[in-house]
Amino acid sequence: MVDKVKKFLNDSPAARWSALILIALMMFFGYMFVDVMSPLQSLVESQRGWTPDVFGTYASAEYILNVCGFLILAGIILDKTGVRFTGVLSASMMLVGACIKFVGISDWFQTTSFCAWLDSWWVSMPGSAKMASLGFMVFGCGCEMAGTTVSKAIAKWFKGKEMALAMGIEMAIARVGVFAIFSISPMIAAKLGGIQAPVAFCTVLLLIGLINFIIFTFMDRRLDGELVAAGKMSEEKSPEDEFHVKDLGKIFGSLNFWVVALLCVLYYSAIFPFQRYGANMLQCNLQGISAASAANIFRWFPIGAAAITPFLGSYLDHKGKGATMLIWGAVLLVACHLIFAFVLPASHSELLAYATIVVLGISFSLVSAALWPSVPKIIDEKILGSAYCLIFWVQNIGLSFVPLLIGKVLAASNASNPAVLAAKEAGAEFIPYNYTVPLVIFAGFGVLAFLIALYLKVLDRRRGLGLELPNIEA
């Protein structure tokens, strides 16, 4: 009988789960910053003059540089330099972008001549929105790069182990960040009388996230040293294992990649842009409840996702059925948006709003838990970082345009709404928008995602991709 003599750092459950917590907390703080202003849409409109289309343009700014090619570059950087360098770089970019955004929305910036120049320059947006959008662009580059880096790091530390569970827990921790900020942001803004305090709070948290990832780099360096010493990894990559830019052609030429990428962009286009408007939608559809009350309802969306994602990840590790999870996730997504569009405005039921938000969180869990652990099954490990980044790139193309589209559609569909016109004329802080058309658009994205998920399951059967198989190796 041969005993396993050499154990690596990631063979220790305490070590690999500690590593997961360190990198997950970085994403936790990042997701808090992403939505720090989402529950404050009405306050931003009254204090800074951001109309719905301006708010939509600001929300789209997070993805613009990624769409212009940064995520492709991020994938190359990740596969060339590894998770340690790329993680520190991405966390630093998030922090820098957050600082720029804080400057843009701060009270003192509104009185500067630079802000006045921004008011008059280029498109008709307030100077505060332009500066905040610039910061959000830089932050968005770092956040998306961090997301792909974390995915590759988990794939490395949990290979042959509880990969889906680990990815599920990481995503659950990150989603709790959304729950936390939908609770905390309105409270901080109410106590301190403005939107800048919540942004400052989250900026400090991003600094803590950067420190956490730096600690993780020491653990990852030790793991690499053990792998090299055991001959499991070479200090110098062979020409066959080295990443080359031409390898991107293998990804772009893969049908499997494009199906997963299209499913990703369609599904998440009905989730992340919706988060920007979700609290305000509830405030409007429930007949003008307070912004804080609407945020308290909406915050249960990420909690529903966080609560069930680890269980789904564990099920996927042991039983499989990843492609089936994607189908059911899309079905629930469509049902929820249609309820928001037609049933909630007629019933004004807060109980229904809570229930639908939680079900939407379950839908989000089904897709998130199944999608990301499936990518290593269809993509070679040496180009895995680029594959994740390219999926995020395709996703960002949709996410950069959808918030802008929703903002313009919301403004156009309410252009002659008597209630909206009366509220604006009276200078009211709350504007009762009708969200029916934007919600139908979100449901349409869900229908397309459902069709792509069905095709992916057919493709899995034909090609034996293993998407329905468990992740843990026997």
| Residue 162, pLDDT score | 81
Does position 131 have pLDDT exceeding 90, yes or no? yes
Top-ranked range on mean pLDDT: pick from 59-73, 116-130, 355-369: 355-369
Mean pLDDT calculated for residue range 306-329? 85
Q: Is residue 2 part of a domain?
A: no
Which of 31-40, 374-383, 390-399 is predicted least confidently?
374-383
- Residue 275: per-residue pLDDT: 84
Residue 469 maps to a domain: no
Which pLDDT value is given to residue 428?
78
- pTM for this model (two decimals): 0.73
Is 83 inside any structural domain? yes
Residue 473 pLDDT = 63
Domain that residue 186 falls in: 11-463
Contact assessment for residue 142 and residue 93, using Cβ atoms and an 8 Å cutoff: yes
Mean pLDDT value across residues 449-470: 90
In a domain, 3, yes or no: no
Q: Give the whole-angstrom CA distance, residue 399 versus residue 144.
A: 12
Write b or e for each residue in 119-157: b if 16 or more Cβ atoms lie within 10 A of its Cβ, otherwise e.
beeeeebbbbbbbbbbbbbbbbbbbbbbbbbbbbbbbbb
**Mean confidence (pLDDT) of the chain:** 86
Q: Is residue 401 part of a domain?
A: yes
Asked, for residue 471, whether it belongs to a domain, the answer is no
CATH of the domain at 28: 1.20.1250.20
Mean pLDDT of 337-363: 94
Distance between CA 208 and CA 185 in Å, rounded?
18
CA-CA distance, 382 to 80, in Å (whole number)? 9
How far, in Å, are 35, 125, 145, 338 from residue 301 at the CA level?
A: 13, 31, 24, 16
Q: What is the pLDDT of residue 235?
A: 56
Confidence of residue 202 (pLDDT cuts 50, 70, 90): very high
Does residue 129 belong to any structural domain of this protein?
yes
pLDDT at 429: 76
Whether 473 is covered by a domain: the verdict is: no
Number of structural domains in the chain: 1
> Average pLDDT for residues 27-35, to the nearest whole number?
92
Nearest to 31 by CA among 164, 134, 195, 184: 184
Q: What is Dmax (Cα atoms) for the chain?
A: 84
Q: Which of 347, 333, 349, 199 is nearest to 268 (CA)?
A: 333
Note the pLDDT tens digit of each residue in 221-272.
998 888 888 776 655 554 444 556 677 787 888 888 899 999 999 999 999 8
Alpha carbon distance 102, 107 (integer Å): 10
